[in-house]
Amino acid sequence: MNGDELPEYRVVRSKRRTLELRLHPDHSLEVRAPRRIRDADIRAFVASRRDWIARRLREMPVPAPAPRLVDGAGHLFLGRRIPLRILSESRNSIHFGNDAIEIRLPEPHSEERVARVLEEGYRRQARSRMADWIDLHFPWFRARGHECPRLRVKKMKTRWGSLSTRGYINLNMALMKVAPECAEYVVVHELCHLEEANHGPGFQRLMDLHLPDWRTRRDQLNQSPLQ
């Protein structure tokens, strides 16, 4: 991006009242916009943030190519890259250890079959660990009069999490690839939306109260590779 050139961006319209930029780890840019705002106003908003976008892109790591789904390939788990070990077994299973991710499945070990087992493994890990973090942090929010949202773990391309008006906290299973303190930050972030719908001063005060180092965790998350 240089000169007067605008970066490519995706527009997501909703009932929100303000414009928001979201720069994702894969360097894709998303604009969250009110439903009735003009396209010209969105372009002007992106243009006004051109310097910020360029600076953030320079600060972010270059997206790495996806690792191979073969024995010995390095894959991320809880912020560490550890080798994938593929072993022959009559039934599918997966174990996340400190030094390796062990996948057992019948031969032949096609990358497609390995991918299915690995994805389900990340999903199960996310359900367990996210539930534990919700259990840890929610009592603070319960004391403020909120009801506990129901957990849904999803494969999400552009968001770490969301809180729905139907009572669900949706969390990206890819959070199992980043450091635990970063994933925990996302859980608290979404719980704070029980009280503050946007990211304004009220939301930030709530985060300061419950997770004082959230900005450091957020910045670390933004710098985290996902492949």
158-209: per-residue pLDDT in tens?
Answer: 789 999 988 999 999 999 999 999 999 999 999 999 999 888 999 999 999 9
Say how far apart CA 137 and CA 157 lie, in whole Å: 26
* β-pair type (10-14, 29-34): parallel
**1 falls in which pLDDT band (50, 70, 90)?**
very low
Q: 22-36, 87-101, 126-140, 211-225: lowest mean pLDDT where?
A: 22-36
pLDDT digits (tens, 9 = 90+) for 110-157: 888 999 999 999 999 999 999 999 999 999 999 999 999 999 999 887
Contacts of 184 (CB under 8 A, 6+ apart): 133, 137, 217
Burial, 154: exposed, middle or buried (Cβ in 10 Å; 0-12, 13-18, 19+)? middle
Query: Is the pLDDT confidence value at 2 over 60?
Result: no
Say how far apart CA 53 and CA 27 lie, in whole Å: 10
Would you call the peptide bond into 108 cis, given omega within 30 degrees of 0 as the criterion?
Answer: yes
Walk across the sheet containing 29-34 and list its strands: 10-14, 29-34, 20-23
Say how far apart CA 24 and CA 57 lie, in whole Å: 10
List the one residue out of 207, 173, 177 whose CA is nearest residue 190. Answer: 207
Structure tokens at 143: 């004391």
Q: Long-range contacts: 160-165, Cβ < 8 Å, 24+? A: 160/186, 160/189, 160/221, 161/186, 161/187, 161/189, 161/190, 162/190, 163/190, 163/191, 163/193, 163/194
pTM of the model: 0.74
Domains and CATH numbers, the chain: 10-59 (no CATH), 74-222 (3.30.2010.10)
Query: Is the pLDDT confidence value at 6 over 90?
Result: no
List the one residue out of 51, 16, 48, 50 whose CA is nearest residue 34. Answer: 16
- What residue type is 109 in one-letter code? H
